[in-house]
Amino acid sequence: MQILILVFTHRLKLKKEDAEKYDWILCMDEACMKKCFAILGDHAVYVTPIDVKKIFIMNPASPISLNGMIKARVCRLMDFTGLSRDIDNPLLTGDFWTAYREIYSGCASFITLATR
């Protein structure tokens, strides 16, 4: 399973070919997701928080989306924690500790689901 975690849009170096390379693209916020879809177009699919758990039950390594097409799955990192929201940019808020805890929590939740 190939995973790409995107932090914030100002450093986004995503290419259309990355949709074939990564099974999961985890974004920190809505702006990052929008930029992903602008670059990847129809080569990526948004996965809702409810669908995330269904996919891991089926096969987390498979790049098949719920509609049967081969696409990268794009969602926010916090979707794995049950808190469907953005991670605030610490460069804007100055709160690096909260951003760290949320990133850690999202990654830990993702790993827990992926290793069941």
What pTM was computed for the model?
A: 0.77
Which one is predicted more confidently, 58 or 73? 73
What's the domain count of the chain? 1
Q: For residue 24, which phi and psi values (nearest 5 degrees)?
A: -130, 135
pLDDT beyond 80 at 35 = yes
Domain that holds residue 106: 3-114
Pairing of strands 3-6, 44-46: unpaired
The amino acid present at 14, given as its one-letter code, is L
pLDDT beyond 70 at 108 = yes
